[in-house]
Amino acid sequence: MAKVSQLSDSDRRQTRPGNANTHPGKVAMEALAVRRKPEVIEAEKKDRDERRQTQEKKKVNKKVAVLEIADFENQMDLDVIV
């Protein structure tokens, strides 16, 4: 069996007291796991809903405009025929 070198306590590398019980990835995980307040979440939901409503209004306005143009063209065709 191989002999394991035994270093005395004075020769061993010492951990700083502040790091003795700290997990190495804890600091990184705390930075990544940001907890948002309920007010912020509600504000984001309202903003998202407002954006959806404006997009729907734009789609409806485009459809209405296309139908109006089609009606106008049909009316022009009827006027030319008569």
Label residue 23 by pLDDT band (50, 70, 90): confident
Question: What pTM was computed for the model?
Answer: 0.49
- Give the pLDDT score at 54: 98
Question: Distances from the Cα of 49 to the Cαs of 9, 28, 38, in angstroms?
Answer: 64, 33, 16
Interval 25-60: pLDDT, tens: 787 787 777 788 999 999 999 999 999 999 999 999
Residue 1 confidence (pLDDT) = 53
CB atoms inside a 10 Å sphere around CB 30: 9
Q: What is the DSSP string of 11-79?
A: TS----GGGTT--TTHHHHHHH-PPPPHHHHHHHHHHHHHHHHHHHHHHHHHHHHHHHHHHHHHHHHHH
Enumerate the domain spans of the chain. Answer: 52-82
Q: Could you read off the pLDDT of 57-80 as tens digits, one per residue?
A: 999 999 999 999 999 999 998 887
